[in-house]
Structure formats: C-alpha cells, structure tokens
Structure 1
Amino acid sequence: MPAHTPRLRLKSKAPHGGYVDGAWWPRSDDLTHELPDLLAVLSVRLGRIDRVSYRLNSWANAPRKLTTGGRAVRLDGYRLQPRNTIEVRGLDDDRDRLILLVIPPRTDPGDAHATMMTAAQSGNAGTVDGLLMISPRDRATRTQASNAQERWESEGGTTTSPRSQRALA
C-alpha cells in the first residue's frame, strides 16, 4: 500500500498507439523516494517489478538497486534514455513493460493535470516533446546545454565550486 498516492494516469490495457503508456508527476527529483509508491501501484498491472530504467542527470543520485515491498528492483540509469521518461519492467520483459512520461515536479498543477490526462487517452500518439509542449528548437537548446554539462562533468568539472562547497560545510 503506497504511503502517498502517486500522481499517475495510465492508458487502458487494450492495445494502443503512441510512445508512452501514461504519465507520472513525481513530487521531487529523488527517484529512490518517489519510486516505492509508484511501483506499489504499477505492480497491480505488471505483477512483480524487476527493473526501472531512467535518464541519468534527470534525477538525484540513485543506487543500482532499491528494496521496496520486500523485493529488490534494479535501477538502470542511462545517458541515452529518452528525456522525461522512465521504463518500468515486470519479470516478463516483453509483455510486462510500461513507458511513462515524467512530468517535471515543479510543473504548474493545471498544466501537469492536462498533460497527464492527454498522455493517458486511448489512441493518443503524442511524442514526449509534443505532450510536454517542447518545440524542436527548445529541445535542441536543452540537449546542447545538457550535453555540454555532461562533457564538463565527465572531464572533471563540478557543478559546485570549491568556494560554495566550503560554505556548505
């Protein structure tokens, strides 16, 4: 039983089109805090959940495994996971799988609700960017900025200056 009901909308189980199977609006960017409640609800549809794939740098640091509901769930972070999505897989990878649109936590409530309802409509074939109303130009700008940040960090750069780290200590 989830401690907090996740803000989640899913398409029906019937065959459907579109990239996503529904939408999830987490309350924070802490994946390990957000997932237990989400997985408790999704296990009704998927059965035992085996793994969750997410995009690195979209969430606070997460461990490789999360124990929830008395079971270990693998958390796989990828740099190439499509932005604003997570993939939740049951034990049967081919059948038991959902791709969810992730609505950023600080999204306006009215916009988030409308996006969730649209993403969950049967027959909705919207793309992730289309559902989030991100133009191709905005996506290109965001991708360039994200790639630059990832390069900076992989080459030894940090996002927090030593001076600000000392101030936090």
Structure 2
Amino acid sequence: MTTTLDRTAPRDLAAELPARFSLTPKTLLAGRLDGAWWPRSRDLESELPPLAAALEEPWGRVTRVTVNPARWPVVPHTVAVDGRTLHVGWFTEQDPDKLILLSYTVGRWDLLVIPPETEPAAAARLMAAAARLMAAAAVPGSVLTAGVLMANEATIGRGVRDAQRQEAGWEGEGGACMSPVGIPMERSGLPLLGNGWS
C-alpha cells in the first residue's frame, strides 16, 4: 500500500520552525478547547515534535497524542521528541478537527487543529476564536467545539470571498450606480453638488 503525504512544508523545514499555536489563558475555567494549533503540513512525524517541545514549559511533558485519521494520511504509533518517545493513537470517534494531548502527571488538553492549507487571515481568526472566544465562553458545558469553530470559519470565509467578488465586480464595472432599492441607475441620476440635492 502506498501513501502520499500532503505536505505544504518540507519535513526538515517543519521540524526547524517553531510550532504555531495559541492557548487559552490559565486563569479561565475549562472549556471544550484549550487553544489552537496550525501545523505546516499533514505529516505528524515532523509536526508533533516542535509542538510537544513548545508545550513542555507551559503544560508539562506530553506523553500521548490522539487524532482522528480522517485529517492525517499517516498516523505513526510513536514519534521521537527530544530523545524520548511520544505515543500517538487515533480514534474515528474523535472530532477530526481536534488534537488531544495527554500527560501522566499534568492531565489532558484539547487543541483545535487548523488545516495547514488555511489562509493566514482565516488561521488568525481561528486561533483567536479558540483562545479568546473560548475564554469568553469558558463555562462548563460550553458548546464551542472544534467542529463548531471550523464551521463558523467556513461561513465567515465564504462571506469574505463573496464580499471580495462583489467588490471586484463593482470595480470592474467602474462602480455600479444603484438606487437605494437595488435598481440600476444612469450616472445622471446621481445627486451632484449644486443641483439642489444635499
């Protein structure tokens, strides 16, 4: 069986670059997410070491990670992190947009996984939503799950793209003249200074 990895960054480069993530402030009550992670590729073997290393100071040593295999073409059983072994598991029941990190001594953290191919503006919105919005809604039973945040971003992204297309159409036409009720007008129908309209 042959598997092709969808990489947006070479493996060596991904391992050298710092992990891109945001965390919910520690002072808040626990919500459904503890932050967000934006990997550079779908290669867990190269993406997990920088994340685990970066989280060691604020959270402690990560010993296990679970993912949903729907978003990862290859799920290795173990990954080497700074001379130790990080165990990786997968569950199809787990939210595909979430990464679960476990530690024997510290506990569990759930991170929203932002797809590597996400545009930077959308990734920034998702990271802020996972950290700040979870902070605002960090009450037991919060409904802001990874899937809800991704669905919200898809809606926002469509709105942004639609607005950009409308603006491009507007500019391409030289700026359309429309009445307040949406009926095209001649330019002569526009109010000009000095013709009695204010």
How far apart in 2 are the matches of 1:82 and 1:15?
Answer: 23
Contact 2:95 2:147 in 1 (8 A): no
How far apart in 2 are the matches of 1:20 and 1:65?
Answer: 24
How far apart in 1 are the matches of 2:125 and 2:151?
Answer: 11
Alignment of 1:1-169 (within 5 A): 3-92=16-105, 95-121=106-132, 122-124=135-137, 125=142, 126-133=144-151
User: Structure 2 stretches of 5 or more lacking a match?
Assistant: 1-14, 154-198
Q: Report the Cα offset of residue 46 of structure 1.
A: 2.4
How far apart in 2 are the matches of 1:30 and 1:10?
Answer: 22
Contact 2:21 2:35 in 1 (8 A): yes
User: Structure 1 stretches of 5 or more lacking a match?
Assistant: 136-169
TM-score (norm 1): 0.72
Q: Report the Cα offset of residue 77 of structure 1.
A: 1.1
**RMSD (Å) for aligned C-alpha atoms:** 1.8
Counterpart residue type for residue 5 of structure 1: P
TM-score (norm 2): 0.62
How far apart in 1 are the matches of 2:56 and 2:87?
Answer: 15
Q: Percent of counterpart pairs with the same letter?
A: 33
How far apart in 2 are the matches of 1:129 and 1:60?
Answer: 19
Contact 1:31 1:60 in 2 (8 A): no
Structure scoring higher RCO (CA < 8 A, sep ≥ 6) equals 1
Structure with greater strand percent: 1
Q: Secondary structure at the match of 1:43?
A: helix
Question: How many residues of Structure 1 are paired with residues of Structure 2 in the alignment?
Answer: 132
Q: Report the Cα offset of residue 85 of structure 1.
A: 0.4
Q: Label 1:47 to 1:17 Cα distance change in 2 as closer, same or farther (>3 A).
A: closer
Say which one has the larger Rg.
2
How far apart in 1 are the matches of 2:52 and 2:18?
Answer: 11
